[in-house]
Amino acid sequence: MASTAPVRKAMTGKAVTRAPRDTAHEGFLTHKRGRWAKVALTLSIVAMGAYLLTDPVPRHNGGTWLGYLLGSIGAGMIVWLSLLGVRKRVIGSKPFSLKGWTSAHVYLGLSLIVIGTLHTGFQLGWNVHTLAWALMMIVILSGLWGISLYANLPERLSANRGEVTQLQMLEAIRTLDRQLDTAAQPLGGEDAEFVRMSLEQCTIAGSLRQRLFGNYASDGNARALAAISEKVMAGLRSGRADDRLQQIQFLLERKEAALAQARRHISLKTQLELWLYVHVPVTIALLAALLAHIISVFLYW
């Protein structure tokens, strides 16, 4: 075989050294041995120290030099933290670690509780300024909620799916549907109606409520299974067991199990995303309120 693909030149020099990469096996919370936790903690302590050691007249508020400083830092951080959503989508070829960004996002975000609150000088009221603070707190709390989900759910997600992918789960349900359809051909009208119930009135995920609380008792397949099981039991009791119905029952049970796995999977994935539906829109509201807050402060100086 004579190929004429160019033979690469002897491989030497810096150009061939592999791009440096992060091979440390640590999660975003422990990234670089908690570098950003340390930074955030230091920032908070310094801010608190400055707050306690200074005694402005008439009192602490956003208008003192410390208030301006904390406000500027806080506003800058809010804008930067909200850019994570952009960073995550722009990959490019340059070195960066999204894990590092997430880590910084989490810890610096938490330090905003201290910085933002000290900036207010504990002067809260029913105005646009407090609105910005309140929105910030909602964003941070929803973030905390997200962290707790990120810490607990992946393990359950992994355990539930085993080595099955989402597509395979759905495919398995479709296969069972086909088998049910075939097995139902010789059945009488009433029994066939139950199978039809499983085939046509079965939703895999259902409403958000169902996804979160997992109540699928009224679903077509569950109802069909209950009805068929009852008929099979009745048949057994009367001593006239119906093989075809038992086969249907078996298939409905398998489908129920397959549905349960898929639903748990969807439920966990929903939970892992749900908090973002609070976190992100409120962040956008916060950015708007922040702008209003800054403009109004300078307008009514």
Partner 1 sequence: MTTYRIAIVGSGPGGLSAAAHAAKLGLSHILLEKTDHLSDTIYKYQKGKHVMATPSQLVLRSPLDFEAGKREVVLGTWNEQTAAAGVNVKHGAEVKSIVGTGAPIPGSVMQLATRNRDGTTSTTELQRNAPPYRLTLTNGEEIMAEAVIMALGTQGNPNLMGCPGGNLPHVQYQLDDPTEYTDEHIFVIGGGDAGIENALGLCADPAQNNTVTLINRTADFPTAKDANVKALLAARDAGRISIMAESNTTMVEPGFITVETRDGEVRARCDRIIARIGSAPPRGFVESCGIEFASADRLAFPKLSATFESTAPGIYVVGALAGYPLIKHCMNQGHDVVEFINGNLDLKPADEPILEAKFAGLPGRRSVAEWLEYLRDRVSILNGMSSLQMREFMLDSAVKLYRAGETIFERSAPGSSLFGIADGEVAVEVNPNDPSITVPIGTGQIFGEVGLISGRRRGATIKAARDTIVVEISRNAALKLMSQVPSASREITRINTERTLLQIFKSGLAPADLVDVIAGAKVETIRAGQAIIKEGETGDDIFIIRSGSMVVEKSIGGKPVFLSYVPAGSYVGEMAVIDGSARSATVRAAVKSDVIRLAGEPFRALLAAKPQLLDKLRGEMASRTKLNNFVESKKDSFSGVVDMYTGVANFLVEQGVGEATDVLLIDEKLCVGCDNCEKACADTHDGLSRLDREAGRTYAHLHVPTSCRHCEHPHCMADCPPNAIHRGPTGEVYIDETCIGCGNCQRNCPYGVIRLDKTPPKKPWLLSWFLFGSGPGPGEASHKWAKKHDPAYAEKAKKAIKCDMCSGQEGGPACVRACPTGAAIRVSPEQFLSVSLMNREDR
Tokens of 45: 């302590």
Binding site for partner 1 (CB under 8 A): 1-5, 7-13, 15-28, 30-31, 86, 88-99, 101-102, 150, 153-155, 157-159, 161-163, 165-167, 171, 175, 178-179, 182, 269, 272
Comparison of 1 and 299: residue with beta carbon closer to partner 1: 1
List of long-range contacts for 38-46, beta carbons under 8 Å, 24+ apart = 39/104, 39/107, 39/108, 40/107, 40/108, 40/110, 40/111, 41/107, 41/111, 43/108, 43/111, 43/114, 43/115, 44/111, 44/114, 44/115
In the complex, minimum distance from the CB of residue 291 to partner 1, in angstroms, rounded to a whole number? 18
Comparison of 115 and 195: residue with beta carbon closer to partner 1: 195
In the complex, minimum distance from the CB of residue 75 to partner 1, in angstroms, rounded to a whole number? 22
Comparison of 53 and 86: residue with beta carbon closer to partner 1: 86
Whether residue 161 contacts residue 265, with contact meaning beta carbons closer than 8 Å, is answered with yes
Q: How far apart are CA 101 and CA 86, in angstroms?
A: 11
Instruction: Report how far apart the first and last C-alpha atoms of the chain are (Å, whole number).
Output: 82
Comparison of 28 and 107: residue with beta carbon closer to partner 1: 28
In the complex, minimum distance from the CB of residue 127 to partner 1, in angstroms, rounded to a whole number? 31
- Residue pointed to by tokens 């569950």: 222
In the complex, minimum distance from the CB of residue 95 to partner 1, in angstroms, rounded to a whole number? 4
Candidates 277, 280, 290, 273; CA nearest to 62 is 290
In the complex, minimum distance from the CB of residue 13 to partner 1, in angstroms, rounded to a whole number? 7
Comparison of 9 and 209: residue with beta carbon closer to partner 1: 9
Secondary structure E strands in 59-159: none
In the complex, minimum distance from the CB of residue 62 to partner 1, in angstroms, rounded to a whole number? 32
Comparison of 23 and 238: residue with beta carbon closer to partner 1: 23
